Structure 1
């Protein structure tokens, strides 16, 4: 990876992002030595401009930033470092240097869940319930989605909110398994919903349907 350290006097900004939550945790500076030490140790290391020395995040507090990946921007003078934080990142004790909570957005977990299910699909480990669903085929997976949807409806009409959420979670899990078996992602559903959110979507849909009907008439 080519990094232009000389453009800014031997240092480049290094933006630290949590690999799981995608939240920005802090920003520091790296020189070639800090970059190399980060790669060698797996612990994110910076160059301290005030102390004029290398410093590894967490070397005194124990709150290390464990390296996952490093990318350089299009100008080759800024780094995006994804890491897994061990404890709060800021020296003040907050999760980020902006005082924000570093929490995973709940909806992002659906994507993370599908990543896990796709791994199950590739590896098919014995003893896994997810593996058993893939082995039983699409019909069984689709049946499970229907069963869990029905149980969600029952809880919505005659049960408690807590049980409805529980059954809805079962339904979503089985839906993601079904999507995975078809080579689709939960993001495909999100994109479809985003398309329908467009105020002109229904107008375009009806226009397209009208054209299809007209084409069918002409064929006859």
Structure 2
């Protein structure tokens, strides 16, 4: 398992442990209790990540990417979507061109 995968797995477990926690004492518990706020924060972090990338700021890109991944994990936990579900979707797309995969989506 890669270092990032290990860290994401550990962080995901910590986030899960915060479900139902005191929202006044835990930022993660606060986000989990308010999925709309969690999604908004995810969007903010995505924009900040894009800005860092456009500015070619490696340090900011690494930092903002960490924030983005944390907020993504919180949104996923709030929605009850597991990392295994995401992994299954990615595995299903392996070896399929991006154009073909997108064309095959419903909706």
Same fold (TM > 0.5): yes
Distance 1:200 1:151 in 2: 29
Distance 2:12 2:41 in 1: 17
Give the 3 Å change call, closer, same or farther, for CA 117–200 of structure 1 in structure 2.
same
RMSD: 2.6
What is residue 169 of structure 1 aligned with on the other side? 66
What is residue 130 of structure 1 aligned with on the other side? 28
Whether the 8 Å contact between 1:145 and 1:171 is mirrored in structure 2 is yes
TM-score, normalised on structure 1?
0.42
Structure 2 residue matching 1:184: 3-state secondary structure: coil
Whether the 8 Å contact between 2:31 and 2:38 is mirrored in structure 1 is yes
What is residue 108 of structure 1 aligned with on the other side? 6
TM-score, normalised on structure 2?
0.81
1:147 aligns with 2:44: yes
Whether the 8 Å contact between 2:32 and 2:77 is mirrored in structure 1 is no
Q: 1:139-165: per-residue Cα shift (whole Å, max 9, x none)?
A: 111111100000000000115111101
Deviating 4+ runs (over 6 angstroms): none
Distance 2:54 2:10 in 1: 31
5+ residue gaps, structure 1: 1-20, 22-103, 213-220
Distance 1:168 1:111 in 2: 16
Give the 3 Å change call, closer, same or farther, for CA 200–143 of structure 1 in structure 2.
closer
Whether the 8 Å contact between 2:31 and 2:37 is mirrored in structure 1 is yes
Between structures 1 and 2, the one with greater helix share: 2
Between structures 1 and 2, the one with greater strand share: 1
Distance 1:166 1:186 in 2: 22
What is residue 121 of structure 1 aligned with on the other side? 19
